[in-house]
Amino acid sequence: MLSVETATLFARLTLGHVGREYPNKLDHVMAGPEGVRSPSELHPIFYGSFDWHSCVHGWWQLLRIRRLFPGTPEAAAITARADEMLVAEKVAGELAYLERPTSAGFERPYGWAWLLALHGEAERTPWGVALEPLARAFADRFRAYLPKLTYAIRSGGHFNTAFGLVLAQDWARAHDPELAVLIGERARAWYGEDRACQAWEPSGDDFLSPALIEALLMSRLLDGADFAAWFADFLPDALDSKPATLFTPAYVSDRSDGKIAHLDGLNLSRAWCWRGIAAALGAKHPVAVVAEEAAERHLAASLPHVEGDYMGEHWLATFALLALERG
């Protein structure tokens, strides 16, 4: 589980990159030569951590660690950095970027969902008020987008619909009941009748399990008995650890390759999913033990590699925190 030593390691790593502007991979459409600008000019807050969404969830991770371990030196450093960065003037700059006509699909839905998660954590702090307009802007985008998304996106990367809805639903339940209802309706329409998942995964650069993140979402939307029934149809051979690929950690051949390094994230996010699924099924359910064992294998495969190469170091600690603290 999450220890103070592990949490402070994560915080030190993340404090080292949320303000690191380069290298940087922009999600940016230029409508003309005036669009050629530096990351920090485009994004007054979220210009670090290699890309916008990693910087957002890096801040989520920092604020969460600050709350869980308030007496550490890292918590004081987080407070000082947040006082400087998470302010209304800089939020206005982030909002201005969203208002550009070419930004309609910016960071959809992964970055949207992480911004909502960040606000959900920040509202416990002095910085929540400043971030709320940005959260509301992304909630509005979810509200406009979900009704016209005919088919769920079932990839193992940033475009995955189920992952975005897991985070968005957590926020919407507390802040936007109408959005929460919409998420539930769309998720049931997309996933409610899924049966006998084949689990053709992982792909070579997945950091999410399309099968398990869907199951985690349904565990958040269905009560215990209904979820157990849905899960039995969705993964009918789970008690026998089949499909075997869902129970076997991915092998990472080159952690300096940013895409291949995604597979460490897959192992960590699978651990998070398996722990969440086990909790939803309940300790007495026969699959719960199998799920917990799978989570432990996946954690053991990739937790030692959160630190080491910037291609993983700029984001993996967030998924490790999910697996260790929110399982």
Residue pair 65/11 in contact by the 8 Å Cβ criterion: yes
| Per-residue DSSP letter, 45 | S
- pLDDT mean over 22-41: 97
Residue pair 266/208 in contact by the 8 Å Cβ criterion: yes
**Residues 166-201, buried b or exposed e (16+ Cβ, 10 A)?**
bbbbbbbbebbeebbebbbebbeebbeebeebebeb
- pLDDT mean over 258-277: 98
Q: Residue 66's pLDDT is what?
A: 98
Residue 327 has pLDDT above 70, yes or no: no
pLDDT in tens, 108-123: 999 999 999 999 999 9
Q: Residue 326's pLDDT is what?
A: 60
Looking at the chain, the whole-number percentage of residues with pLDDT higher than 90 is 99
- What are the structure tokens assigned to 100, written together? 């550009």
Please provide the average confidence, as pLDDT, over all residues in the chain. Answer: 97
pLDDT in tens, 155-197: 999 999 999 999 999 999 999 999 999 999 999 999 999 999 9
- pLDDT mean over 191-210: 97
What is the spatial distance between Cα 293 and Cα 243, in angstroms, rounded to a whole number?
15
Q: Residue 1's pLDDT is what?
A: 85
Q: Residue 135's pLDDT is what?
A: 98
223, burial (CB in 10 Å: exposed 0-12, middle 13-18, buried 19+): exposed
The number of angstroms, rounded, from the C-alpha of 190 to the middle of its chain's C-alpha atoms is 20
The number of angstroms, rounded, from the C-alpha of 88 to the middle of its chain's C-alpha atoms is 24
pLDDT in tens, 48-94: 999 999 999 999 999 999 999 999 999 999 999 999 999 999 999 99
What is the spatial distance between Cα 112 and Cα 135, in angstroms, rounded to a whole number?
8
What is the spatial distance between Cα 30 and Cα 11, in angstroms, rounded to a whole number?
34
What is the spatial distance between Cα 71 and Cα 69, in angstroms, rounded to a whole number?
6
